[in-house]
Structure 1
Amino acid sequence: MLVVAGLNFAAFWVEAAVALAIGSVALFADSVDFLEDTSINLLIAFALGWGLRHRAVAGRVMAGLMLLPAGAALWQAVSKWGAPEAPDVRWLVATAGGAAVVNGFCAWLLVRIRTSGGSLSRAAYLSARNDVLVNVAIIVMGLVTAVTRSGWPDLLLGLGIIALALHSAAEVWEAAGEERLAAKALAGEEIG
């Protein structure tokens, strides 16, 4: 978890700098996602040893944190809605390709624990897996942008990142709810 957190923190700085320099909504949303992944993995590194009840609470917090990239993408999308400009495709594709390698490696590290740590490990794995999908989508969007010379593909992908973050957050929220119910059952509390 700490290795994954460190990789995500380093990738955040690189991707954020490039995204701001080239004006990419999708790449900026993905860079904020690297920062969110850093937070998630640091919290998980400490919370895996906690009991079900505390992990359930941490899982709910993680579901909320997973919405941060969605908020960042929405902010960028709204600010560019009137006249989106096409980002520099070369930098976009190169940066997204590097991010896909980092996220793919992180997903590979996390695949072994995705079901053993409950909602927390599921949050980490889903986040890394989704990030690879987003990076591939950014590369494809970059190719479409190269052909169309339009900023709309970048803007629309930013909105797609919002939808993906909402879906993943809902999955983690549900897993945390299951852990909360399991903790109540183990404690002999009434489940209502």
Structure 2
Amino acid sequence: MQPNASSAMTQPLLRRVVAGVALANAAYFFVEFFVARKIGSVSLFADSIDFLEDAAVNFLIFAALGWSVRNRARAGMVLAAILLVPALALLWTAWQKFNAPTPPEPWLLSGTGLGALAVNLACAVVLARFRHHSGSLTRAAFLSARNDAFANIAIILAGLVTLFWRSGWPDLLVGLGIAIVNADAAKEVWLAARDEHRSAQT
């Protein structure tokens, strides 16, 4: 089978997958944001914004799959900037909590993190087979889901630590870690998009 024919057969399935991933992320954003506000959790707030960002990324991929390689590369650069949004939102929230970090309710923190982990693992699994298709776009979606799963494990652990050490610092430190992970993912997507753009020009 010719590569172009294989790509043409893969694209409709990929569009359905990223649409489903986008809807799952949008739905869990509301769950996590509500709990974050209820218990005053910095890490859940950062992760909820991350879910919203992932929904936007996948909706953009859904729209961009029919574009040329050059336009997909440009979209990848836009996605790299979008990946920084949770980090910036978190820094503002963390600054407000830094002087007096109050501990969030640990069971809700860990339980919500566990739900987020299930969503992100499911998304990472279905996206893994497509991460080398459509260049930086699907790579952005896969990296987001994969990195978010690691962040969710850290949130669960922060809740368990808070059970024994009633402090807001575990939650705050995990939130800062989420910002660092997203910054690294943004860099990887930007580099992939830049290389893709250069290849399209040659």
TM value normalised by structure 1: 0.95
2:42 to 19, 25, 31: 25
2:145 to 95, 108, 128: 128
Per-residue Cα deviation, 1:65-109 (whole angstroms, up to 9, x for no partner): 001110111111000000000000011111110110011101111
Distance 1:134 1:49 in 2: 32
Aligned partner (choices 79, 83, 87) of residue 66 of structure 1: 83
Indicate yes or no: 2:179 matched with 1:155: no
Aligned partners of 1:19, 1:160: CA distance in 2, in Å?
Answer: 17
In structure 2, the partner of 1:81 is 98
* 1:140 counterpart residue number: 157
Unaligned runs of 5+ in 1: 186-192
CA distance in 1, matches of 2:165, 2:33: 24
Matches within 5 A, 1:24-63: 24-63=41-80
- Measure the CA separation in 1 of the matches of 2:151 and 2:182: 10
Aligned twin of 1:8: 25
Cα drift, residue 42 of structure 1? 0.2
The code of the aligned residue for 1:61 comes to: V
Count of equivalent residues: 185
Q: 1:167 aligned to 2:184? A: yes
Task: Return the alpha-carbon distance in structure 2 between the equivalents of residues 163 and 8 of structure 1.
Answer: 20
Letter in 2 for 1:156: L
Structure 1 residue 32, shift from structure 2 partner = 0.4
Tell me the CA shift for residue 162 of structure 1.
Answer: 1.0
TM-score computed with the length of structure 2 as normaliser: 0.90
**2:99 is the alignment partner of 1:102:** no
Aligned to 1:111: 128
The CA deviation at 1:61 is 0.3
Mapped partners of 1:30, 1:127: distance in 2: 11
Sequence identity, in percent? 54
Counterpart of 1:54 in structure 2: which amino acid? N
SS in 2 for 1:180: helix
Aligned to 2:194, which of 171, 177, 181? Answer: 177
In 1, the alpha carbon distance for the partners of 2:184 and 2:98 equals 24
Superposition RMSD on alpha carbons, in Å? 0.6
The CA distance in 2 between the partners of 1:117 and 1:71, in whole Å, is 28
